Amino acid sequence: MLQNPLMKQMLDFQKTSFDSSFNAVAKLQEQGENMMGMFLNQAVWIPNEGKKAVLDWVDVLKKGRDQFKQTVELNFSKMESGLGAAEEKKK
């Protein structure tokens, strides 16, 4: 797709870096979610409405994280397409 190997390497490096960083942050967030779940199960003094609010908040954060990843992946794809089109025009 990309004729310029340096540009392709740079884009691949950025994608790999993003994926690695994103996966590390996602694992940390999952651990936090698990700890929060254990806490909520043991905290009998928190009303059910409060527990539901926290769980809803966790769901919103997950959806936001997933949307962010989709947006970044879409833009990486557009970048590859744009660079490929620019290379085709040079020929």
Does residue 83 form part of some domain? yes
Domain count, the chain: 1
Does residue 11 form part of some domain? no
Is-contact 29 61, C-beta < 8 A?
A: yes
Tens digit of each residue's pLDDT (9 = 90 or more) over 58-80: 999 999 999 999 999 999 999 88
Going by pLDDT thresholds of 50, 70 and 90, the confidence category of residue 45 is very high
Does residue 41 form part of some domain? no
Closest by Cα among 18, 21, 32 to 61: 32
Q: What is the pTM assigned to this prediction? A: 0.78
* Residue 45 DSSP symbol: T
pLDDT at 83: 78
Closest by Cα among 7, 24, 6 to 76: 7
* Residue 42 DSSP symbol: H
Q: What domain range is 77 assigned to?
A: 47-91
Does residue 16 form part of some domain? no
